């Protein structure tokens, strides 16, 4: 088969997706190179590097989160370790999202039909999407390798490390292309892609802790086993490359053979009537947000469960080694509290992510034209917004409380002693004002500047960056203070000042009210 | 139903989106009990007008009343009395058609159950299928059924039949007529002239955000000219100078008089009398179609309809006119 229309298709895909692709690539490069630079500045003597290496290899908790980095006693090793958690999610996500956007989303929107009616073979859009995603991954990889080299990491090791991350992204790009053929909607591509990614993360963690072959089952493990700062196993890159090519080839094959708009996983019949619950504004809002509440909850529960069940290892590591504690940014004096505080920060970020995404889906209701239909009835704008606000806030609370319970249960199981559930719950609940503040910001954007809504995602990314990497990178205090999570006081480890919570809550409420007022005054739909 | 004031009254509406002037002094009046056709080319401002009337967006200037009230301030209260089908029907892809019907019905204060059942049957809709598995036409049907089954005084339909096949289009027209018999007022924005011609009591034609003309179809036709082609045994006497006649051309063909002219509606009877006196062999009288009105109103920078009579060449039959 000749790739009829590949050039034209590449042009179309690039033209329609170049902005999003560039933002993704540039943001990722900036984040990775910037972080590497900060680490290089922080660990600028062999002694400091050695201390760090001693600390993180002392126990299994950090190994689960960041992976077992071979050759950690070097600047590159520290970067790889610090980056372990982020790289494990961001690079696969780069592959998944670019491919999903350029394949199933286009098909779902019906745009692909117009393209395929022209002189474009059926499998070409997938091929074009994969090509552009691969180009984006290569650019990111090269830039990262250059950045690492510039900060004093040996060039060959930089290249191998960057390549191991790049091939990781390839695997998930190929996998997403295949998912795009078998699921009917782009949501399915994300959901299944992220589920498999979470599975890969768990497998890598289990393998690293048990030091067994299990690591080799995970794409994240393949990247780790390239050992760029240890033995430099170049050949391991062949595994992800082969797998990625297999996935991609299969996707192209299926795309060429299936009907447009079809999927291997289809939908069946459903109820002919709506329940009175679904007819109510709150019932409909619940139906709209239910899937995403469950997805974010699943993420938070997996994280809390993993952290909780490793509590004993964490405590052993921290108690036995002050340097280890320092690597966590904690004192090591109250290991149980430190464990809870660390996990709750992660949970808070997940809950905040849900809030931003849920408010974003209101914007989705508007741009799709469904909001207009609803507001043409006797439902007032404020009641509509209130119903959604209530469901979203409930979702945030559910995510925080359920994963707190799971964390406490996991800890109790791991340590063999009862855990103060109230303390864990309180630590989670204390973050609610910070979570709602970011959600309120998203709502204000929705109400006042709906077209600028992507800025809410920017805010989430900034808060995440400051919360996780800020203290480690010793960012200036004013920068740390920009993130609402900073003001919570790291419960139960630190003291929570009620005044701070009230201020955060008041800001959140003000933003929410501003959003509601703006929404009431503006035209719907505002394109 | 017997409310004295118009159901919808818009005067001098303007709306700007940034630099774009979407509406530029638009007038629209819909009286109770009528089906009002709302016509205009793409981008003329039909959907914008409808959204302002519904209080979804706010006019930049001018005056608008819905049931005699301000739709922007009292949107939710006024909406109890109407049902709306948007131009681009978007529904929740995870819900079934039946669920969407009920959800939309709930926003309108409930559907008439008997009518809901009857309409599902009439439009041949499978209510157990999920929206994402429906075709565009079937999604359109869901929104239409929800609006037509609602107990509304006013139906606002924005190009409601764009995805329907001719059979369903037929069913739609029947149902709209029934609803009108029940006393319902209908604002029907449409591109399908046959549909408007079949349903509308009055029409408003807009172009570039302004009302070009408004009135009953008969009134609109009165401003335009009927095209007559007659073959008579004798040459018709005095027709060329008869009142109301224009573009008169007559020649002898195969022993008959072949005459063509245009005539305004008021003088048709007189000129046909003269043709009759000349002994009619064949006679073709072509009234101005809505298409002609439409094209005339849309065309370039042509002024409002009542600025002057249309000439025959604009009224269709281009092949003959060109000869």
CB B226 within 8 A of CB B288: yes
- Annotated domain spans of chain B: 8-219, 224-322
Q: Residue B40, SS3?
A: coil
Which of A114-123, A290-299, A497-506, B296-305 is the least confident region? B296-305
Contact across the interface for B132 and A267, Cβ inside 8 Å: yes
Question: Does A405 touch chain B if contact means CB atoms closer than 8 Å?
Answer: no
Q: How confident is the model at residue A278 (pLDDT cuts 50, 70, 90)?
A: very high
What's the whole-number mean pLDDT along residues B236-245?
86
For A224-267, how does the pLDDT look when each residue is reduced to its tens digit (9 = 90+)?
999 999 999 999 999 999 999 999 999 999 888 877 766 655 56
CB B133 within 8 A of CB B174: no
Topology annotation, domain B8-219: Rossmann fold (3.40.50)
What's the whole-number mean pLDDT along residues A364-382?
90
Nearest to A267 among B98, B99, B130 (CB): B130
Question: Does A259 touch chain B if contact means CB atoms closer than 8 Å?
Answer: no
pLDDT at A1 over 60: no
Omega of the bond leading into A525 within 30 degrees of 0 (cis): yes
**DSSP state string for A349-406:** HHHHHHHHHHHHHHHHHHHHTHHHHHHTTT--HHHHHHHHHHHHHHHHHHHHHHHHHH
Residues of B in contact with A386 (CB under 8 A): none
Give how far A365 is from chain B: nearest CA, Å: 9
Nearest CA-CA partner of B300 in B188, B191, B212: B212
The pLDDT, as a whole number, for residue B322 is 33
Give how far A281 is from chain B: nearest CA, Å: 9
What's the whole-number mean pLDDT along residues A58-86?
84
CB B87 within 8 A of CB B143: no
Nearest to B103 among A279, A381, A521 (CB): A279
* Other beta carbons within 10 Å of B277: 13
Residues of A in contact with B84 (CB under 8 A): 373, 376
What CATH number has the domain spanning B224-322? 3.30.70.120
User: In residues, how long is chain A?
Assistant: 527
Question: What is the Cα Rg of chain A in Å?
Answer: 24
Q: How confident is the model at residue A155 (pLDDT cuts 50, 70, 90)?
A: very high
Distance CA A342, CA A323 (A): 17
The pLDDT, as a whole number, for residue A324 is 63
The pLDDT, as a whole number, for residue B304 is 44
Q: How confident is the model at residue B186 (pLDDT cuts 50, 70, 90)?
A: very high
Interacting residues of A30 by C-beta distance below 8 A, sequence separation 6+: none
The pLDDT, as a whole number, for residue A321 is 65
List B261's β-bridge partners, or say none.
B228
Looking from the CA of B214 toward its CB, the CA atoms found within 13 Å total: 16
What's the whole-number mean pLDDT along residues A289-318?
85
Q: Residue B59, SS3?
A: coil
List B225's β-bridge partners, or say none.
B264
List B285's β-bridge partners, or say none.
B228
In whole numbers, what is the pLDDT of chain B averaged over residues?
A: 85
List B158's β-bridge partners, or say none.
B189
A interface test, pick of B102, B130, B137, B146 with most A CB neighbours within 10 Å: B102
The pLDDT, as a whole number, for residue A329 is 60
CA B238 to chain centroid: 39
Give how far B213 is from chain A: nearest CA, Å: 28
For B24-59, how does the pLDDT look when each residue is reduced to its tens digit (9 = 90+)?
999 999 999 999 999 988 888 999 999 999 999 999
Q: Say how many Å lie between the first and final Cα of chain B, rounded.
A: 53
Contact across the interface for B84 and A376, Cβ inside 8 Å: yes
A interface test, pick of B45, B51, B52, B107 with most A CB neighbours within 10 Å: B107
Q: Residue B211, SS3?
A: strand
Contact across the interface for B107 and A271, Cβ inside 8 Å: no
Percent of chain A with pLDDT over 90: 49
Which of A185-194, A249-258, A423-432, B93-102 is the least confident region? A185-194
Better-scored residue on pLDDT, A393 or B303: A393
Contact across the interface for A380 and B104, Cβ inside 8 Å: no
pLDDT at A30 over 50: yes
Residue of A nearest to B80 (CA): A378
In whole numbers, what is the pLDDT of chain A averaged over residues?
A: 88
Residues of B in contact with A525 (CB under 8 A): 56
What's the whole-number mean pLDDT along residues B252-273?
88
Looking from the CA of B26 toward its CB, the CA atoms found within 13 Å total: 34
Residues of B in contact with A288 (CB under 8 A): 92
Q: What is the DSSP letter of B111?
A: B
Give how far B92 is from chain A: nearest CA, Å: 8
**DSSP state string for B226-292:** EEEEEEESSPPTT-TTSTTEEEEEEEEETTEEEEEEEEEGGGHHHHHHHHHHT-EEEEEEEPPPHHH
Interface A-B: count of C-beta contacts within 8 A? 114
B interface test, pick of A188, A272, A368, A449 with most B CB neighbours within 10 Å: A272
Sheet (strand B20-30) strand order: B20-30, B8-17, B61-66
What's the whole-number mean pLDDT along residues B90-101?
90
pLDDT at A60 over 60: yes
Q: How confident is the model at residue B321 (pLDDT cuts 50, 70, 90)?
A: very low
What's the whole-number mean pLDDT along residues A204-219?
89
Interface ipTM: 0.78
pLDDT at A338 over 60: yes
What's the whole-number mean pLDDT along residues A335-343?
87
Better-scored residue on pLDDT, A188 or B103: B103
B interface test, pick of A270, A280, A289, A388 with most B CB neighbours within 10 Å: A270
Q: Residue A260, SS3?
A: coil
The pLDDT, as a whole number, for residue B225 is 78
Contact across the interface for A378 and B107, Cβ inside 8 Å: yes
Distance CA B273, CA A130 (A): 77
For A465-522, how does the pLDDT look when each residue is reduced to its tens digit (9 = 90+)?
888 878 777 888 898 999 999 999 888 888 889 999 999 999 999 999 999 999 999 9
Contact across the interface for B107 and A280, Cβ inside 8 Å: no
Question: Does A19 touch chain B if contact means CB atoms closer than 8 Å?
Answer: no
Contact across the interface for A373 and B95, Cβ inside 8 Å: no
Contact across the interface for B99 and A185, Cβ inside 8 Å: no
Residues of A in contact with B54 (CB under 8 A): 376
CB B141 within 8 A of CB B125: yes
Distance CA B318, CA B284 (A): 15
The pLDDT, as a whole number, for residue A280 is 92
The pLDDT, as a whole number, for residue B181 is 95
């Amino acid at each position: 088969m000749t790739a009829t229309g590949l050039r034209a298709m590449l042009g179309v895909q690039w033209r329609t997706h170049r902005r999003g692709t560039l933002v993704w690539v540039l943001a990722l490069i900036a984040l990775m190179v910037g972080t590497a630079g900060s680490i290089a500045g922080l660990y600028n003597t062999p002694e400091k590097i050695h201390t760090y290496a001693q600390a993180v290899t002392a126990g299994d908790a950090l190994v689960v989160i960041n992976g077992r980095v071979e050759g950690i006693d070097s600047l590159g090793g520290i970067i790889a370790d610090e980056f372990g958690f982020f790289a494990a999610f961001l690079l696969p996500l780069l592959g998944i999202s670019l491919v999903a956007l350029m394949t199933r989303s286009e098909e779902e929107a019906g745009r692909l039909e117009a393209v395929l009616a022209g002189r474009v073979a059926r499998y070409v859009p997938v091929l074009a999407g994969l090509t552009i995603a691969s180009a984006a991954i290569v650019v990111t990889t090269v830039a990262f390798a250059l950045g690492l080299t510039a900060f004093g990491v040996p060039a060959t090791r930089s290249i191998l490390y960057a390549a191991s991350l790049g091939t990781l992204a390839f695997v998930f790009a190929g996998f997403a292309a295949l998912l795009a053929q078998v699921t009917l909607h782009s949501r399915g591509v994300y959901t299944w892609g992220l589920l498999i990614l979470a599975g890969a993360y768990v497998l890598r963690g289990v393998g690293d802790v048990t030091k067994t072959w299990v690591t080799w089952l995970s794409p994240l493990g393949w990247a780790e086993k390239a050992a760029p700062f240890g033995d430099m196993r170049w050949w391991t890159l062949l595994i992800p490359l082969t797998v990625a090519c297999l996935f991609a080839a299969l996707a192209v094959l299926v795309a060429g053979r299936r009907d447009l708009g079809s999927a291997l996983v289809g939908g069946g019949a459903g109820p002919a009537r709506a329940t009175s619950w679904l007819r109510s504004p709150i019932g409909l809002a619940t139906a709209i947000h239910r899937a995403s509440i469950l997805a974010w909850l699943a993420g938070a529960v997996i994280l809390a469960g993993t952290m909780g069940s490793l509590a004993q290892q964490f405590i052993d590591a921290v108690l036995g080694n002050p340097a280890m504690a320092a690597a966590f940014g904690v004192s090591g004096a109250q290991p149980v509290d430190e464990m809870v505080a660390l996990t709750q920060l992660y949970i808070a970020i997940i809950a905040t992510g849900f809030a931003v995404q849920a408010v974003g889906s209101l914007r989705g209701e508007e741009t799709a034209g469904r909001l207009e239909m609803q507001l043409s009835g006797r439902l007032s704008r404020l009641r509509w917004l209130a119903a959604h606000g209530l469901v979203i806030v409930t979702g945030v609370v559910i995510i925080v409380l359920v994963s707190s319970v799971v964390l406490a249960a996991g800890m109790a199981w791991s340590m063999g002693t009862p855990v103060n559930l109230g303390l864990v719950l309180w630590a989670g609940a204390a973050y609610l004002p910070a979570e709602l503040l970011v959600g309120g910001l998203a709502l204000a954007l929705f109400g006042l500047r709906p077209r600028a809504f992507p800025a809410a995602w920017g805010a989430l990314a900034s808060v995440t960056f400051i919360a996780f990497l800020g203290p480690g990178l010793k960012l200036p205090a004013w920068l740390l203070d920009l993130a609402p999570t900073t003001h919570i006081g790291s419960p139960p480890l630190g003291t929570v000042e009620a005044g701070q919570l009230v201020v955060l809550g008041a800001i959140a409420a003000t933003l929410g009210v501003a959003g509601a007022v703006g929404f009431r005054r503006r035209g719907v739909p505002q394109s | 139903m017997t409310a004295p004031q118009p159901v919808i009254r818009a005067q001098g509406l303007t709306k700007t989106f940034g630099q774009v002037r979407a509406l530029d002094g638009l007038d629209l009046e819909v009286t109770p009990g009528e089906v009002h056709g709302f016509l205009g080319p793409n981008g003329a401002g039909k959907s914008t007008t409808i959204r302002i009337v519904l209080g979804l967006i706010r006019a930049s200037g001018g005056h608008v009343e819905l049931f005699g009230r301000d739709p922007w301030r009292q949107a939710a209260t006024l909406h109890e009395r109407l049902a709306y089908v948007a131009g681009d029907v978007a529904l929740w892809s995870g819900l079934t058609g039946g669920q969407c019907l009920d959800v939309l019905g709930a926003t309108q204060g409930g559907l008439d159950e008997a009518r809901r059942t009857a309409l599902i049957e009439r439009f041949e809709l499978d209510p157990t299928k999920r929206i994402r598995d429906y075709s565009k036409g079937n999604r359109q049907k869901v929104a239409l059924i929800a609006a037509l089954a609602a107990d509304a005084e006013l139906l606002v339909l924005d190009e409601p039949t764009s995805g329907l096949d001719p059979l369903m289009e037929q069913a739609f027209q029947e149902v709209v007529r029934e609803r009108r018999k029940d006393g319902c007022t209908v604002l029907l924005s449409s591109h399908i002239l046959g549909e408007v011609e079949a349903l509308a009591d009055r029409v408003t034609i807009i172009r570039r955000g302004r009302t070009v003309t408004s009135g009953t179809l008969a009134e609109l036709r009165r401003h335009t000219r009927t095209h007559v082609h007659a073959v008579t045994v004798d040459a018709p006497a005095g027709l060329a100078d008869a009142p109301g006649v224009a573009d008169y051309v007559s020649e002898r063909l195969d022993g008959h008089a072949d005459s063509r002219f245009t005539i305004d509606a008021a003088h048709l009877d007189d000129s046909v009398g003269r043709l009759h006196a000349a002994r009619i062999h064949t006679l073709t009288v072509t009234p101005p179609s809505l298409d002609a009105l439409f094209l005339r109103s849309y065309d370039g920078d042509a002024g409002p309809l009542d600025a002057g009579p249309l000439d025959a060449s604009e009224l269709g039959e281009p092949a003959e006119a060109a000869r």
